Amino acid sequence: MLKIILFIEPRTTGADTATDNLRRNCKKLHCVKSEADALGLVMIADVAVIHAPAPEMLKLQHALTGTRKLPIFWLNSFLDKDAKPEQEDWGFALDGLLFPTMRPTEMGYALSFGIHGWKQRKRWAEEKESLSLRLEERKWIDQAKAVLSEIKGISENEAYDFLRKQAMNERKRVGEVAANIVKVYQLIHG
């Protein structure tokens, strides 16, 4: 069971059943009408559920994720032409779709499944960032080894050992020391 669900419903639409079903799937349900009120509560919420037509969804989603990354669900009870965006790429990522006709258990499963997918995507993004950082560091290290080999007349293995020792002495990462060496070299010889 979720701790806190932030339910954003800018228009009064009579989604009382859905609100009750959401309430049964969390310990605390915060219902708000405005973007400002939602932004005031987004930091304590586990999940945001937005009940608005598709054109309003993008604005609300950007506002929420601009403040904090969290799973966002769309409660869709708008069965008119605005219910589905015209493009396949909506311009925002939803973690799940809820309907007012869902029973509490169905809503619970949809929330759990969406949150699981969101957590997995979050882990992948963090891993991607970590790998990108390591790749960038690797580039600096390779350049620094070449610079040290040229200046000191040592092999690349010796240059790497030098970088490691320097990093330990300065209590920095090898990539950071390598970047500093390359930047100074480029400043002097550039």
Q: Tell how far CA 105 is from the center of its chain.
A: 27
Q: What residue has token string 């966002």?
A: 72
Higher pLDDT, 57 or 60: 60
- For range 58-84, the mean pLDDT: 82
Strand partners, 6: 30, 48
- For range 129-134, the mean pLDDT: 95
Amino acid letter, 11: R
- How many contiguous H segments (helices) and E segments (strands) does the chain have? 6, 5
Q: What is d(CA 2, CA 108) in angstroms, rounded to the nearest whole number?
A: 9
Res. 57: pLDDT tops 90: no
**Alpha-carbon distance values, 62 to 3, 65, 155, 177 (Å):** 23, 5, 52, 38
What pLDDT is stored for residue 89 in this prediction? 57
What pLDDT is stored for residue 92 in this prediction? 56
Q: What is d(CA 27, CA 45) in angstroms, rounded to the nearest whole number?
A: 11
- As assigned by CATH, the class of the 2-102 domain is alpha beta
Q: What residue has token string 């499963």?
A: 109
Sorted by where each begins, the domain ranges of the chain are 2-102, 130-189
- For range 72-98, the mean pLDDT: 70
- As assigned by CATH, the class of the 130-189 domain is mainly alpha
For the chain, what is the mean pLDDT? Answer: 89
